[in-house]
Amino acid sequence: MSISIKTGADIEGMRLAGRFASEVLDYLTPHVKAGVTTEQLDRLAHDYIVNEQGAIPAPLNYQPPGYTPYPKSICTSINQQICHGIPNDRALKNGDILNIDVTVIKDGWHGDTSRMFVVGDASIQAKRLCQITYEAMWRGILKVKPGARLGDIGHSIQTFAENAGYSVVREFCGHGIGSKFHEEPQVLHYGRPGTLEELKPGMIFTIEPMINAGRREIREMPDGWTIVTKDRSLSAQWEHTVLVTDTGFEVLTLSAGYPPLPDFVTAALAA
Ligand code: MF3
Ligand code: CO
Ligand code: CO
């Protein structure tokens, strides 16, 4: 097994899938407010994905070995939920933070992206966790270029998150992506510089750090999917699908409604 290298038409397909995944989040954004249930968000996302572009929500009935089929079209992970939260009839309430993770299959190609949303006025601590996690993801992305290694990405995310007083979830990671939802390589969000696989132009993978306000240990809920922090501390996650280009990276999951880039990203891109 090895890491696939995408070329011409593959990359163009991945660009369209990636942008559409991000547009689904743009579309959901005004609906994310107190009183809305995550099931309503799931329905909105499902219908938009299917009707707007004739695409497929990749999570629906997705079944990795050892899992039951995932029952919904998006993942919604609230507060102490780390990832894979299943939309249900629980209404969002003021102060909640939640991750919405969208993966579409468009013309056979997968686009995978997630963002944090803050419902009404959240605590300063909750907002800081979302912001630090966002910056941590971008610090990982900025490491992406030919010749760099996966360990550089993980190290950059880990040092930034831990210096902020947070912990990095180890059991889940980013992943290669293309005609399959999850391919090689695994993209760990911790590690040592100069280690692991060397990046080459045409590789496409996600970077999707899960950062806990407290300890890094996780617990799986009885539904077989939802992962929560063992100490019940808040957790945040952001995700992009990223292409290794000849000179650096291209983020495939951007769209018109994407939140502002951190200043250090704008500065790095201008340099
Ligand atoms: N979108 C998640 C990821 O980033 C995977 C969700 S699997 C599901 O890899 F079945 F829960 F949808
Ligand atoms: Co992913
Ligand atoms: Co995802």
Specify the pTM. Answer: 0.98
Number of domains in the chain: 1
Specify the pLDDT at position 21.
98
Is residue 153 included in any domain, yes or no? yes
With tokens 């993980």, the residue in question is 154
Angle at 163 between CA 265 and CA 96, to 5 degrees: 75
* Residue 149 near residue 192 (C-beta atoms within 8 A): no
Is residue 1 included in any domain, yes or no? no
* Mean pLDDT, all residues of the chain: 98
d(CA 215, CA 96): 20
Give per-residue pLDDT as tens, 164-214.
Answer: 999 999 999 999 999 999 999 999 999 999 999 999 999 999 999 999 999
Closest CA to 38 of 71, 77, 69: 77
Residues 6+ apart with CB under 8 A from 12: none
Is residue 65 included in any domain, yes or no? yes
Q: Is the pLDDT of residue 155 over 90?
A: yes
Specify the pLDDT at position 224.
97
Give per-residue pLDDT as tens, 67-115.
Answer: 999 999 999 999 999 999 999 999 999 999 999 999 999 999 999 999 9
Is residue 112 included in any domain, yes or no? yes
**Which atom belonging to ligand 1 lies closest to the Cα atom of 62?**
10
* Residue 76 near residue 85 (C-beta atoms within 8 A): yes
Question: Distance from the CA of 3 to the center of ligand 1, in angstroms?
Answer: 20
**For ligand 1, atom 2: residue with the closest CA:** 101
Specify the pLDDT at position 210.
99
Question: Distance from the CA of 267 to the center of ligand 1, in angstroms?
Answer: 32
Question: Distance from the CA of 217 to the center of ligand 3, in angstroms?
Answer: 20
Is residue 49 included in any domain, yes or no? yes
Feature table: binding site for a divalent metal cation: 101, 112, 175, 208, 239
Specify the pLDDT at position 1.
66
d(CA 73, CA 253): 18
Q: Which structural domain, as residue segments, surrounds residue 246?
A: 8-270
Around ion ligand 3, residues with a beta carbon closer than 5 Å are 101, 112, 239
Q: Give ligand 1 pocket residues (Cβ under 6 A).
A: 59, 62, 70, 75, 84, 101, 103, 112, 206, 208, 225, 239
**Which atom belonging to ligand 1 lies closest to the Cα atom of 102?**
1
Is residue 117 included in any domain, yes or no? yes
Is residue 185 included in any domain, yes or no? yes
CATH number of the domain where residue 60 is located? 3.90.230.10
Closest CA to 82 of 180, 190, 173: 173
Specify the pLDDT at position 271.
85
Is residue 2 included in any domain, yes or no? no
